[in-house]
Structure 1
Amino acid sequence: MINPTYNSVHNKFKLNGFHFSADDMLRVAYSFIKEGADFQKPVGNFFLDWFDDKPYLEVKTSGTTSAPKLIRIDKQAMVNSALATGDFFELNPGDKALHCLPTNYIAGKMMFIRAFILGLDMDFVAPSANPLYNNDTFYDFAAMVPLQAKSSLAGLKRVKKMIVGGAKINPDLEKQLMKVSTKVYETYGMTETITHIAAKLVGEKSFTVLPEVTISYDDKNCLVIHAPRISDEVIVTNDLVELVNENQFKFIGRYDNVINSGGIKLIPEEIERKLFDKIEPRFFIAAKEDKELGEKVILVIEGEKLELENTLFDDFDKYEKPKEVIFIPKFKETATGKILRKESLE
């Protein structure tokens, strides 16, 4: 079978109920740019970029681990990513999809590319906290960030399969999503991997990679991704993982977040997992310089100062126990709701 190219548009593709060819999409683009709402203008610019003669697209990274920057991604690699998603989630031409993400970032762009390439019948709505509000349509597929998923719980019965990415699903939301009839998948990926390269059903411990992706880890136990149809280069991440087998891994935490306290290496995400059902506001574990220990563990909580229970750290070992609690009125975060730890502390 010959793979479609980036300037192909599937004959089953529909946008808000209407089929458009590649030429039609350019007319839609000009209409969005000249007369569209604020959320439609970047979509118009994306359509013009996608259907031009350049074989690449310039995409802004999310800025989770460093300042946001523009990177070039091969358009055919994005097509290959869309095909892999279609295979993994068993999406078929004519399936009804909901697009409710901003198009400034890779996730929003990829929803359109999946629709063009796989022939999805896609409703595109303004990004909002609750995109299913006042919407009675039934969908085969949707993509949301955790905040949207949380606000949409009551309406998810009208969605068959949904991917959630952009930020980690916290344990409280995971429990709620396990109760809905929707098959909800948490995704793993980044801009450089053209959104997700792996996914797991909520409630499962391990991520499973998409077709034609293989994984390993380096000498720091950080995930290494081999995805030749998406990237010519091997992608070395800063994510500490435990490999289950050649197709599955468990996410442990970020290497750059590791705390060295008195010679003991501590992973903040593992400490946070012990606290998720004990602290209501958002929080994270971080390090602070210490004369004796080198670094000490601190607990950072969003919002007004509150009294913590005396038994909060009873099941922690000596080095895990936070030596200080800091309250910050409002955390800094990415556009998808991922907490920027260093920026929030600063």
Structure 2
Amino acid sequence: MSEATTLENLIGKGEDRMPAIGTPSRSPLSYQELRNLASATIVRLNELGIGRGDRVAIVLPNGPEMASAFVTVACAATTAPLNPDYKAEEFEFYLDDLKAKALLVEEGSNSPAVAVAKKLGIAVIELVAGDNTPAGYFTLKGESMGTAAEPGAAGAEDIALILHTSGTTSRPKIVPLSHRNVTASAGNIARSLKLEPADKCLNIMPLFHIHGLIAAVLSSLQAGASVTCTPGFNALKVFGWIADESPSWYTAVPTMHQAILARGGRNADIVSAAKLRFIRSSSASLPPQVMTALEEMWNCPVIEAYGMTEAAHQMAANPLPPAKRIPGSVGIASGPEVAIMSAEGQILTAGETGEIVIRGDNVTTGYENNPKANAEAFTDGWFRTGDQGIMTDEGYVTITGRLKEIINRGGEKISPREVDEILMNHPAVEQVVTFALPHDKLGEDVAAAVVLKEGQTASEAELRDFAAQSLAAFKVPRSITLLDEIPKGATGKLQRIGMAEKLGLV
């Protein structure tokens, strides 16, 4: 079967009566029902005056309607999912920056996004989810804005999805991803995981983020498989969902995996009865100690993958057994070409450290209205990821750090991840994030935030002494802060940049 190049093609692959989108305690939406919903959504949006290229911001809670709205609205227009937890000022920035034509919210929504949209003159469309209807089914309610300039189904080069970069160090950049980009990425993931129609993904990722949208939802639909959409991550409920839904896999960020791991002992019966074929980790590095413990708990492989928004998520992944997996490595190229480049733009050989670069059908053609960022990000057709890494002669990539996160201590360069992994070996340590602490004379020094395991104790001095056994003196954290919980970003990722400020250390 030919590769899908639009989301309409992609959902055309599944068997009519097979489940496509589900949720706990409701009947699933079949592939035929999803295709019918897409056709109806295209017609309805065109009636409301929205067509190809028009931007629809989506502010919906996590769940099946968010998944089906993303897929079907993108068949007609450009989707821009936003975090429902944003405050009014944040919604105003993003809705204005996106030049949204409409805002899609659930019926009766009291989100501050609604008032902001009205203030900016942006039309509000309500998603109406019917009672006793399959998971993800909806109709749209709103007033017409006139005639759609470009009606009909979107094409391969039309923009399906717009997301902003995290913007930890500067104004967030707009990343436009075409139908070709997102369907290529979904195909890459489905192939690397060997997804089949019998597979069922349990989605616990937020669906305003590239990881959940592409790795959980679109890869499943690409394979003709199903995805069960939960209301979002809840460590107390995950085991119940696994027991009730019998998924064959789930994908998560490391902080979620660690929270699940911490509760495994209390759910031993569910763990032993689970039928997981594998679990997947992405969006941040998974400590090797956590990978080993997860594999022992679930009795299945953990597949660590490497993704970013500009690549429509996945770039590299460890292959499934019996192929070799390397703990601490993000695996081999999985779809796009992957190489290591010097600061001067030369492609390096195996074993040399440089910047990880990519090119392929899943990679954005460039940031919107940002020629400076594009000039910095692209070299000879390669996209520069901003990650420092190294590749073996077999093509396995290891990320040694974010270039912007590398700590420069008086000229000595330190990878925060290296310090993380040493401290994670301490028997009392549950979680670590190492980060740069501003210093008067050195410019930067090394600091770490640490969460201890329940019932365990360790002092700052003890942890520093432990690190000093394995690290050169200049790499040992000068400051270690013990916390009950490390502050995270909206998607559950630990953010090194700005951590010193968040913890009040500067």
Interval containing the TM-score (normalised by the shorter chain): 0.7 to 0.9
Deviates more, 1:206-215 or 1:321-330: 321-330
Deviates more, 1:78-87 or 1:308-317: 308-317
Counterpart amino acid of residue 226 in structure 1: R
Is 2:37 aligned against 1:24?
Answer: yes
Query: What is the aligned partner in structure 1 of residue 497 from structure 2?
Result: 342
Q: Residues 259 and 107 from structure 1, CA distance in 2 versus in 1: closer, same or farther, beyond 3 angstroms?
A: closer
* 1:208-229, Cα deviation, whole Å (9 max, x unpaired): 3344422222224110112245
How far residue 69 of structure 1 moved from its aligned partner, in angstroms, is 4.6
Judge conservation of contact 1:60–1:68 (CA < 8 Å) in 2: no
**Which of 245, 248, 251 is the equivalent residue of 2:396?**
248
* 1:176-232, Cα deviation, whole Å (9 max, x unpaired): 112132222111111111112111277534333344422222224110112245445
Query: What is the aligned partner in structure 2 of residue 33 from structure 1?
Result: none
Query: What is the aligned partner in structure 1 of residue 240 from structure 2?
Result: 133
Counterpart amino acid of residue 202 in structure 2: L
CA RMSD of aligned residues (A): 3.3
Counterpart amino acid of residue 137 in structure 1: E
How far residue 174 of structure 1 moved from its aligned partner, in angstroms, is 1.7
* 1:131-179, Cα deviation, whole Å (9 max, x unpaired): 3425333333322233443444545532112212233223442221121
**Which of 196, 205, 209 is the equivalent residue of 2:314?**
196
Query: What is the aligned partner in structure 1 of residue 161 from structure 2?
Result: 58
Deviates more, 1:98-107 or 1:283-292: 283-292
How far residue 259 of structure 1 moved from its aligned partner, in angstroms, is 2.3
Counterpart amino acid of residue 243 in structure 1: M
Q: Residues 161 and 197 from structure 1, CA distance in 2 versus in 1: closer, same or farther, beyond 3 angstroms?
A: same
Query: What is the aligned partner in structure 1 of residue 228 from structure 2?
Result: 123
Q: Residues 42 and 295 from structure 1, CA distance in 2 versus in 1: closer, same or farther, beyond 3 angstroms?
A: same
Counterpart amino acid of residue 324 in structure 1: S
Q: Residues 341 and 146 from structure 1, CA distance in 2 versus in 1: closer, same or farther, beyond 3 angstroms?
A: closer
Judge conservation of contact 1:331–1:344 (CA < 8 Å) in 2: no
Distance 1:229 1:145 in 2: 21
Q: Residues 216 and 174 from structure 1, CA distance in 2 versus in 1: closer, same or farther, beyond 3 angstroms?
A: same
How far residue 106 of structure 1 moved from its aligned partner, in angstroms, is 1.3
Structure of larger gyration radius: 2
* 1:220-275, Cα deviation, whole Å (9 max, x unpaired): 41101122454455220121111113632111112112222233222222122221
Identity fraction in percent: 19
- SS in structure 2 at match of 1:247: coil
Query: What is the aligned partner in structure 1 of residue 192 from structure 2?
Result: 88
* 1:41-82, Cα deviation, whole Å (9 max, x unpaired): 543541343221442123324617445554210112211111
Distance 1:100 1:294 in 2: 40
How far residue 5 of structure 1 moved from its aligned partner, in angstroms, is 3.4
Is 2:209 aligned against 1:105?
Answer: yes
**Which of 437, 440, 461 is the equivalent residue of 1:288?**
437
Q: Residues 313 and 126 from structure 1, CA distance in 2 versus in 1: closer, same or farther, beyond 3 angstroms?
A: closer
Judge conservation of contact 2:204–2:230 (CA < 8 Å) in 1: yes
How far residue 318 of structure 1 moved from its aligned partner, in angstroms, is 2.6
Distance 1:106 1:326 in 2: 31
Distance 1:74 1:88 in 2: 21
Judge conservation of contact 1:99–1:124 (CA < 8 Å) in 2: yes
**Which of 62, 66, 87 is the equivalent residue of 1:39?**
62
- SS in structure 1 at match of 2:331: strand
**Which of 451, 459, 466 is the equivalent residue of 1:312?**
466
How far residue 298 of structure 1 moved from its aligned partner, in angstroms, is 2.9
* 1:282-315, Cα deviation, whole Å (9 max, x unpaired): 4333333444434333334469995431732432
Counterpart amino acid of residue 90 in structure 1: K
Counterpart amino acid of residue 419 in structure 2: I
Distance 2:441 2:29 in 1: 66
Any residues of structure 2 matched to 1:118-197 within 5 Å, and which? Answer: 118-130=223-235, 131-134=238-241, 135-153=243-261, 154=264, 155=270, 157-179=274-296, 180-197=298-315
Distance 1:273 1:312 in 2: 12
Query: What is the aligned partner in structure 2 of residue 257 from structure 1?
Result: 405
Gaps (5+ residues) in structure 2? 23-27, 45-59, 77-152, 265-269, 320-324, 344-353, 366-380, 502-506
Judge conservation of contact 1:175–1:203 (CA < 8 Å) in 2: no
Counterpart amino acid of residue 386 in structure 2: N
Distance 1:95 1:325 in 2: 43
How far residue 345 of structure 1 moved from its aligned partner, in angstroms, is 1.4
Query: What is the aligned partner in structure 2 of residue 5 from structure 1?
Result: 5
Judge conservation of contact 2:388–2:399 (CA < 8 Å) in 1: yes
Judge conservation of contact 2:316–2:335 (CA < 8 Å) in 1: no
Distance 1:250 1:44 in 2: 35
- SS in structure 2 at match of 1:85: helix
